Amino acid sequence: MKELRYAVARELRATGTGKQKRVEGYAATWNNPTDIGDFDETISPDPFTSLDKDNVVMTLNHDDSLLLGRSGVNLQLTQDHVGLRFECALNDSSVAQDVYENLQSGILSECSFAFTVNPDGEAWSTLPNGRMLRTLKNLKLWDVSVVTSPAYSGTSAAARNVIAADIQQRMAGATLAADTAARKAKVQAAIDCHAEWQRTHVAAEMAALDEQYRARLEFLSTI
């Protein structure tokens, strides 16, 4: 299932003039933990492992009928040390020109990307505050999009795509595994502590006995 992530895009701007209008910015940034609701999420560097082969489009509001660009044609996607960078050379379509003007005037300032997680493409861990952290490591990119309404709504399709049922199940499994591991570690710590106490206690008893034997031998040697 496709998931969507919205954000105020880093360096999202309209560039160029006349017949060479462009839109560029970052659709995602690496190592930037975000509160998704039930868990936190971060993206490891270079997670889009098939970016050079994926057929990625750029749209307005994830609407394929409002097309701005396509990879290999007028959309360039790169992964650098900051994140997923896009650069789209706009044509003369009405939607492209509207997006360009709205970006220039500041009416549009957010973007989003749609992805699916490849097998073994995520990892779950527990933060010090007890929340689960989902780390995205291997993703397939479907589109990047300039959006007008980035906020998650509890009744929107976007919200369902943020925390889908299968993600909830995987998080529950990771939480259970983390809890089980924590309990095992606690039990093992108690066992180790008891074993150390036994070793220390036995050593102390043996030392006391040795001292008694030495004292008896010294006494006997004086008779």
Q: Do 32 and 71 have their domain in common?
A: yes
CB atoms near residue 222 (< 10 Å): 5
Within a domain: residue 54?
yes
Q: Do 151 and 74 have their domain in common?
A: yes
Closest CA to 28 of 49, 5, 61, 3: 5
Q: Do 83 and 188 have their domain in common?
A: no
Q: Output the pLDDT for position 20.
A: 86
> 151-161, pLDDT tens digit by residue?
443 333 343 45
Q: Output the pLDDT for position 76.
A: 95
Within a domain: residue 122?
yes
**How high is the mean pLDDT of the chain?**
82
> 26-80, pLDDT tens digit by residue?
988 899 888 887 888 899 999 999 998 889 999 999 999 999 999 999 999 999 9
Within a domain: residue 170?
no
Q: Do 138 and 191 have their domain in common?
A: no
Q: Do 23 and 108 have their domain in common?
A: yes
Q: Do 135 and 206 have their domain in common?
A: no
Query: Residue 189 is which amino acid?
Result: A
Q: Do 138 and 212 have their domain in common?
A: no
State the Cα–Cα distance between residues 140 and 56, nearest whole angstrom. Answer: 10
Q: Output the pLDDT for position 213.
A: 75
For the segment 178-192, the average pLDDT, to the nearest whole number, is: 70
Q: For the chain, how far is it from start to end, CA to CA, in angstroms?
A: 92
pTM: 0.69
Q: Do 12 and 43 have their domain in common?
A: yes
State the Cα–Cα distance between residues 153 and 163, nearest whole angstrom. Answer: 12
Q: Do 108 and 203 have their domain in common?
A: no
Q: Do 155 and 190 have their domain in common?
A: no
Domain of residue 223: give its range: 181-223
